[in-house]
A and B are shown apart, each in its own frame.
Chain A
Amino acid sequence: MGAYDAALLEEPVELRSTLISAAPLAIAIGVFGVIFGAAASATLDPLMTIGMSALVFSGSLQFALLGLVTSGAGPIALLATAIALNARHVVLGAVLRPRFKGSFLTRALQSAVLLDESFGLAVVSGQRAPTVLVTSGVLFYIAWIAGTVLGVLGASVGGLEGLAAALFPVLFIGLAGVTSRGRDTAIRAAIAAASVIVVSILVPGAYTFMPIVAAIVVALPGGRTK
């Protein structure tokens, strides 16, 4: 068991509080599901819109694909976008892997709901990471599908889009705070955040990769683990 796991076990996050934290995010994901469903209906038939949400289950990728399809992009551009946007999942999986002790089949099923938000809730849950990943991931999946269906049926989210969008940075800041273990990790996190902002503004093409790249770069130098 690494020092990080031990630190987390000393301050366990209760499953109940994790679910309470997941609920507003599920609502936010549902809101974006409605927006996706409504937007995609103009380009795709309803069955394919809902089918895409059910099978792909990736808001960022689905919105990107919708934009590319609408602008007439070819299959190569779509594939390149899918690979670029999904690359971060490999790193998320690598961070979580030591916490998952189940069989190959169990991990194969658990992987289906690995997304930024469920990863975040899982990684702060110590030994309960598999349960939290699956519970929150399934909740988010249901919210995404329900939102897509409502959007296809013509629902509108009114002025909730801004609030829903604002929940994501708030969640990630909260997760950064919970997982920070002192000045050393907090400074690394601040450097990563500043790098993402500066590079995204100066080199827009790097925007998609920057969180992962910055996290790897700031984590590489050795340091105190406590």
Chain B
Amino acid sequence: MTWELVLVMAAITYASRAAAMLLLPPLPERVRGVLDRMPPALFAGLAAQAVVVPGEGLGDSAMIAGAIGALLVTPRRSLLACLIAGVVAYAGWRLLFPSP
């Protein structure tokens, strides 16, 4: 690893973050409709990605317990409630089933 490579990585990362924010022209209504529908699916996908081990299956059982705890309170539409429920479920699982 060299400093030049670090700078290239930083440039690629920043460019990816700034590209749409700086260069995206006004979008047709239909495209905006698709973008508007994306966030819940994107977040659900990111959550799923966090609990899965590629090529193997679901990951840590306590993490999955935390995810289920959060899922159960999603009808409340409160981020804080989800965080609390997730942490409580995670800790409860760890308490009931300690890691070897």
Once the chains bind, are B62 and A173 in contact (CB under 8 Å)?
Answer: no
B34 shortest CB reach to chain A, Å? 5
Taking the closest CB of chain A, its distance from the CB of B31, in whole angstroms, is 9
Nearest chain A CB to B89 CB, angstrom units: 9
Which residue of B is nearest A194, CB measured?
A: B48
Q: Is the interface of B mostly helix, strand, loop or mixed?
A: helix
Across the interface, A219 reaches (CB within 8 A) one of B34, B46, B75, namely: B34
Interfacial residues of chain B within 70-98, with CB under 8 A of chain A in the complex: 70-71, 73-83, 85-87, 90-91, 94
Contacts of B45 in A (CB 8 A): 192-193, 195-196, 210-212, 214-215
Q: A93-B20, A96-B21, A167-B87 are in contact. Are A51 and B3 (CB under 8 A)?
A: yes
Assess whether B17 is in contact with A165, with CB atoms less than 8 Å apart. no
In the docked arrangement, what's the CA distance between A178 and B42, Å?
A: 13
Flag whether A15 is at the interface (Cβ < 8 A): no
Q: Are B37 and A163 in contact (CB under 8 A)?
A: no
Q: Mark A138-149, 1 if CB is under 8 A from B, else 0.
A: 000000000000
A4 to B35: give the CA distance in the assembly, Å: 10
| CB within 8 Å for A108 and B22 given contacts A193-B45, A201-B56, A216-B38 | yes
Please determine whether A61 and B19 come into contact, CB atoms closer than 8 angstroms.
Answer: no
Find chain B residues with CB under 8 A from A216 CB: 34, 38
Q: Are A56 and B54 in contact (CB under 8 A)?
A: no
Give bound CA distance, A170 to B73, whole Å: 11
Q: Is there an interface contact between A207 and B38, defined as CB atoms closer than 8 Å?
A: no
How many angstroms from the CA of A77 to the CA of B43 in the assembled complex?
28
B77: min CB distance to chain A, Å = 5
* B16→A89 contact, CB < 8 A: yes
Residues of chain A touching chain B, judged by Cβ–Cβ distance below 8 Å, are: 2-4, 11, 13, 17-18, 20-21, 24, 43-44, 48, 51-52, 55-58, 61, 65, 69, 75, 78-79, 82-83, 86-87, 89-98, 100, 104, 107-108, 110-112, 114-116, 120, 123-124, 162-163, 165-181, 185-186, 188-197, 200-201, 204, 207, 210-212, 214-216, 218-220, 222-223, 225
Please, could you name 24 A-B residue pairs with CB atoms under 8 Å apart, sorted by A? A2-B32, A2-B33, A4-B36, A44-B1, A65-B9, A89-B20, A97-B24, A100-B21, A107-B21, A114-B17, A120-B43, A123-B39, A165-B60, A166-B86, A167-B66, A169-B66, A170-B87, A176-B44, A179-B39, A189-B41, A190-B44, A195-B45, A200-B54, A216-B38
* B residues with CB within 8 A of A: 1, 3, 5-10, 12-22, 24, 27, 30, 32-52, 54-58, 60, 62-63, 66-67, 69-71, 73-83, 85-87, 90-91, 94, 99
- Nearest 3 pairs of A and B residues by beta carbon: A177-B74, A174-B82, A170-B86
Known: A4-B36, A116-B46. 8 other contacts (CB 8 A): A95-B38, A95-B42, A124-B39, A163-B91, A166-B66, A167-B86, A210-B49, A219-B37
